[in-house]
Structures are given as C-alpha cells and as structure tokens.
Structure 1
Amino acid sequence: MSLSRSAAETVGLQAIAWLAADEDLLPVFMGATGADEEAFRAHLSDPSFQASVLDFVLMDDAWIRKFCDASGLDYDVPMQARAALPGGQNVHWT
C-alpha cells in the first residue's frame, strides 16, 4: 500500500511535531542538518523538509518505533510517507 501525497505530508508534519517535542533528539537533528530554530519553523509546510525529517527518523529503528508508537501509526508508514514525498522515488534503502 502506498500513501497519497497529502497523507504523506500529514505524516511528515507529525514527524516534525514529534521531533520538536523530543528534547534529546531535536538537537541531534539540528546538528546533523545545520538547521537553526528559525529555519526549522520556516520550513514546516515544505514537503522536502518533511522528507528530510522522515529521512532522519528512518535512520534508527528505535526512533521509528518511538515516533510510530507516539503517533499511533504502523511501523511501515514513515517509509511509505517518505516514498511519497519529493526524492522518495529515488531513495535506495539498501
């Protein structure tokens, strides 16, 4: 099953909200991407930014589980959402 672009953007926004609420993980994301607080807020609705947050979350199985458990999502939904956002069709997971 694949997600629509609109559904993928909703998951992307959920991932952003989850990440923003995590006081330990948010600084890791900011350091890894070079984003500052202003850029983080300015790009909330940007599907490419949402994709980058999902890319980050997808780097660690524990993060995926925490995000999905907190959001009530199946564990495969973040990957489906990432595939539906810009650049997702070119991602090679191996």
Structure 2
Amino acid sequence: MPGAGGARENAGRMARIDPAPDPETLALMALAYIAGDGDLLDRFLALSGLDLDGLRGRAQDPTLLGATLDFLLAHEPDLLAFAAASQVKPEIIAAARRKLPGGTVEG
C-alpha cells in the first residue's frame, strides 16, 4: 500500500518535543503572563517594591527575570497556570530559574 509507512514516519515527527525556551525568554514570557493578569501584577508589584515604570525599566534585567520566576514558583497555582498557558512543564520553569542570577545551583 502506498503511503503505509508514512503514518509511522509522521508519528515520529509528531512526538518530537520542542526544546525549552532559554531562561531569559521563559522569564520574559512569565513577566508578560503576570502583566496580563491584574491581580497577579498588583501582587508582583507589591512584593517587588516596583511601580509600573520601574518594572518596564528593568524588564530585561536578569535579576528581575529570576525574581519573576521566583514569584511564580512560590505559589503553585500560579506556577501551574503559567505552565499550562505557556505549554512548559513546571520542572522546566524551575530549571530555568536556577540558571538566572540568584538561582540555586544544584551540584
């Protein structure tokens, strides 16, 4: 049958998992996610001590990006919601955090 092997070949391609985004990109995705939710944003600003202008000015700061992931990792419901929205496993988010300034390096 022509094309019978095609399904098997396509199944292998469909099972391919895209690599995780780099830590900075993932943290920027997290920051955008937080900024898109008024309650999360208010809580993040209160905990960080930043205002919106300060947040905008430091959005590319690796230390702030690490703190952004810390914020999500500290509250499992927020972490799981972001993981689902970004289609990234929570353990990938935790691993990304360890690669940013202030992250714990596991030996």
State the TM-score bracket (shorter-chain normalisation): 0.7 to 0.9
> Percent of counterpart pairs with the same letter?
33
Q: Distance in 2 between matches of 1:78 and 1:35?
A: 23
Give the SS at the match of 2:38: coil
Ranges in structure 2 where 5+ consecutive residues have no aligned partner: 1-18
What is the aligned partner in structure 1 of residue 97 from structure 2? 82
Calculate the aligned-residue CA RMSD, in Å. 2.0
2:54 aligned to which of 39, 44, 47: 39
What is the aligned partner in structure 1 of residue 12 from structure 2? none
Return the offset for 1:24: 1.1
2:66–2:97: 8 Å Cα contact kept in structure 1? yes
Q: Following TM superposition, where does structure 1 have runs of at least 4 consecutive aligned residues deviating by more than 6 angstroms?
A: none
2:45–2:51: 8 Å Cα contact kept in structure 1? yes
1:70 aligned to which of 66, 85, 90: 85
Return the offset for 1:54: 0.6
What is the aligned residue count? 88
What is the aligned partner in structure 1 of residue 36 from structure 2? 21
